């Protein structure tokens, strides 16, 4: 059972509803990709205007989460879905939560961007941030792409990337701690970069969770905590 | 009953909607049942079972075990042979003249189609509950007492009273009828009548209970009561249930078997069938893509 046929129900309305659910989640994913990108750019370029914009979009994401979740509840009540339909709805309901958390992390990054632009930029850490940020953005993009195509293989290939991000994050933390010991005056500014890095690393975790949901959705296998 | 049985095997309306479906149907004959058709503590076992109505084959090469104290549900589109299959388990098909059963159906290792098998005794061991509640036009008491009396199971009136009470209690009906046991069973509500039929079935202490869409004529409350009852009965009996309600199969059964055009396509744990079925046809049916 590798192929999904979500569009072949006898009930055309059910087809439409499921298709709409998919469209909504991809729409939300697209918005989050932009939020993360904007937040990271705002840090790098000390652009508090862009950071502010990220903060303003956050409530939209929260309400998207609620709407999509309601839609899932309604579909369960109305259709009593089974098999791939059920997995689709469960996967969407969990993915939406991860996406909303990614939104929260983007929010944190944007707040750090504002602080960094007010307190002056950190003397170190931008290179690490760019490196890890690029990786995590790619993970998120690939995750949403795999969702769009119901591609379990592609989703599975994203999962190990999270390990790499975790390692990169740990080594960046070690390096920045060393730097702070050498130059205690920079501690508060370097800490801001550290919080930002932590938020980016968390986004990687959420992207990984989304990929695990895609594998469940397509293959019916629960791979959480196994890879 | 013959008419109903023949209806069951009438060929499905010839309007295969897509090529995909058509191809699947052609492939069925070559395929083996997917999932886990066999189990260790089998109460009944079918090996290579084929059922024919005259020239027409209704069931193809079915191999399956039904475990002791297990609830197994048979699902599938109309005309897929699930009722025919159910009826072959206590030789109800004997009443259909043109019906022929080949292969082995074992109850505790004994072939139920062997010449040594006493059909009356078989049907006492493998009881049946039908789609529409069909109480006898007798009192509630006599509906339950009829079987035990017929089989000479009790000698005294007081023993019979106890048996009637315990059967009605196990069917969850005692409290509702204990003050009017002498009134006709046909005067009860649909759901009560169906529970009366279940009481009548369990009064003769069967080992296996076959249920042919036992809730399809009942409202949701009566259905819930019967489903609750099925769960309780499974502690003492082995239950095979044919149902058109997928949700019901998901709620009450341990294992689920999917039939398609006379082929047993998939047997698996119910949980697996309804979350991640192995066969594409099972998936298509339970998600409402055809049927």
pLDDT band per the 50, 70, 90 thresholds, residue B6: very low
**Do the chains contact at A10 and B289, CB–CB below 8 Å?**
yes
Write out pLDDT tens, residues A158-208.
999 999 999 999 999 999 999 999 999 999 999 999 999 999 999 999 999
pLDDT band per the 50, 70, 90 thresholds, residue B24: low
Q: How far is CA B53 from the centre of its chain?
A: 20
DSSP state of B33: P
Percent pLDDT > 90 in chain A is 88
Q: Does residue A3 form part of some domain?
A: no
CATH of the domain at A20: 1.20.58.220
Closest-CA residue of A relative to B283 is A83
pLDDT band per the 50, 70, 90 thresholds, residue B20: low
Q: Does residue B165 form part of some domain?
A: yes
- DSSP for chain A, please give it: -----TT--S-HHHHHHHHHHHHHHHHHHHHHHHHHHHHHHHHHTT-HHHHHHHHHHHHHHHHHHHHHHHHHHHHHHHH---HHHHHHHHHHHHHHHHHHHHHHHHHHHHHHHHHHHHH---SS-HHHHHHHHHHHHHHHHHHHHHHHHT-HHHHHHHHHHHHHHHHHHHHHHHHHHHHHHH-GGGHHHHHHHHHHHHHHHHHHHHHHHHHHHHHHHHH----TTT-
Task: Output phi, psi for A5, to 5 deg.
Answer: -125, 70
Q: Is the pLDDT of residue A11 over 90?
A: no
pLDDT band per the 50, 70, 90 thresholds, residue B5: very low
- Give residue B3's pLDDT: 47
Q: Are B55 and B42 in contact (CB under 8 A)?
A: no
Structure tokens of A100?
Answer: 């909303």
- Work out how many CB contacts closer than 8 A connect A with B: 50
**Do the chains contact at A86 and B280, CB–CB below 8 Å?**
no
Q: Does residue B100 form part of some domain?
A: yes
Tell whether A5 lies on the interface with B, counting CB pairs under 8 A.
yes
Write out pLDDT tens, residues B30-72.
788 999 999 999 999 999 999 999 999 999 999 999 999 999 9
Write out pLDDT tens, residues A18-50.
999 999 999 999 999 999 999 999 999 999 999
Q: Averaged over B199-218, what is the pLDDT?
A: 92
pLDDT band per the 50, 70, 90 thresholds, residue B28: confident
Q: Does residue A226 form part of some domain?
A: no
Residue ranges making up the domain that contains A87: 12-219
Q: Does residue B183 form part of some domain?
A: yes
Residue ranges making up the domain that contains B210: 2-286
Closest-CA residue of A relative to B250 is A82
What pTM value is reported for the model?
A: 0.82
Q: Could you give the number of structural domains in chain B?
A: 1
C-alpha span between A8 and A14 (Å, rounded): 9
User: Which of A11, A79, A83 lies nearest to residue B277, judging by beta carbons?
Assistant: A83
CATH of the domain at B35: 3.40.50.300
Closest-CA residue of A relative to B277 is A83
- Give residue B14's pLDDT: 45
Tell whether A24 lies on the interface with B, counting CB pairs under 8 A.
no
Q: Could you give the number of structural domains in chain A?
A: 1
Q: Are A20 and A67 in contact (CB under 8 A)?
A: no
Write out pLDDT tens, residues A84-114.
999 999 999 999 999 999 999 999 999 999 9
Q: Does residue A75 form part of some domain?
A: yes
Q: Does residue B291 form part of some domain?
A: no
Burial (CB count within 10 angstroms: exposed 0-12, middle 13-18, buried 19+), residue A5: middle
**Do the chains contact at B247 and A10, CB–CB below 8 Å?**
no
Q: Which of B23, B276, B281 to mutate to test the interface with A (most CBs of A within 10 A)?
A: B276
- Using a CB-CB cut-off of 8 Å, the residues of chain A touching B290 are 10
Tell whether B75 lies on the interface with A, counting CB pairs under 8 A.
no
Q: Is the pLDDT of residue B16 over 60?
A: no
């Amino acid at each position: 059972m590798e192929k999904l046929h979500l569009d072949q129900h006898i009930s055309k309305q059910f087809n439409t509803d499921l298709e709409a659910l998919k469209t909504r989640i991809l729409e939300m994913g697209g918005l989050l990709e932009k939020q993360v990108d904007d937040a990271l750019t705002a840090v790098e370029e000390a652009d508090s205007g862009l950071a502010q914009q990220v903060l303003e979009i956050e409530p939209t994401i929260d309400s998207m989460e609620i709407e999509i979740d309601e839609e899932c509840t309604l579909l369960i009540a109305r259709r009593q879905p089974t098999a791939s339909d059920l997995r689709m709805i469960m996967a969407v309901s969990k993915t939406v939560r991860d996406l909303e958390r990614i939104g929260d992390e983007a929010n944190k990054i944007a707040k750090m961007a504002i602080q960094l632009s007010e307190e002056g930029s950190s003397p170190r850490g931008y290179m690490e941030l760019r490196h890890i940020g690029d990786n995590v953005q790619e993970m998120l993009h690939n995750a949403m792409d795999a969702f769009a195509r119901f591609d379990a293989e592609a989703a599975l290939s994203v999962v190990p990337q999270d390990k790499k991000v975790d390692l990169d994050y740990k080594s960046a933390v070690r390096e920045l701690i060393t730097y702070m010991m050498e130059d205690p005056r920079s501690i508060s500014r370097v800490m801001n970069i550290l919080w930002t890095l932590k938020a980016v690393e968390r986004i990687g975790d959420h992207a990984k969770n989304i990929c695990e949901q895609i594998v469940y959705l397509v293959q019916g296998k629960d791979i959480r905590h196994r890879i | 009953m013959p008419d109903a049985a023949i209806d069951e095997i009438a060929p499905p309306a010839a309007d295969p909607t897509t090529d995909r479906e058509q191809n699947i149907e052609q492939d069925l004959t070559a395929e083996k049942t997917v999932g886990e058709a066999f189990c260790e503590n089998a109460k009944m076992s079918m090996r290579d079972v084929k059922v024919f109505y005259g020239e027409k084959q209704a069931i193809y090469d079915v191999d399956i075990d039904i475990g002791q104290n297990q609830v197994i549900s048979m699902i599938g589109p109309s005309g897929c042979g699930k009722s025919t299959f159910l009826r072959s388990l206590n030789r109800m098909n004997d009443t259909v003249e043109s019906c022929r059963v080949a292969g082995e159906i074992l109850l505790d290792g004994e072939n139920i189609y062997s010449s040594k098998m006493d059909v009356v005794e078989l049907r006492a061991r493998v009881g049946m509950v039908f789609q529409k509640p069909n109480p006898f036009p007798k009192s509630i008491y006599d509906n339950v007492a009829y079987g035990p009396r017929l089989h000479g199971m009790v000698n005294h009136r007081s023993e019979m009273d106890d048996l009637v009470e315990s059967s009605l209690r196990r069917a969850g009906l005692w409290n509702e009828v204990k003050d009017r046991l002498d009134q006709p069973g046909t005067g009860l509500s649909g759901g009560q009548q169906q529970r009366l039929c279940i009481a009548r079935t369990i009064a003769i202490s069967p080992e296996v209970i076959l249920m042919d869409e036992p809730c399809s004529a009942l409202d949701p409350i009566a259905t819930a009561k019967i489903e609750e009852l099925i769960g309780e009965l499974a502690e003492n009996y082995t239950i095979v249930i044919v149902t058109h309600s997928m949700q019901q199969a998901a709620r009450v059964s341990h294992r689920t078997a999917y039939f398609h055009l006379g082929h047993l396509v998939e047997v698996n744990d119910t949980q697996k069938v309804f979350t991640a079925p192995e066969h594409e046809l099972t998936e298509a049916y339970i998600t409402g893509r055809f049927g």
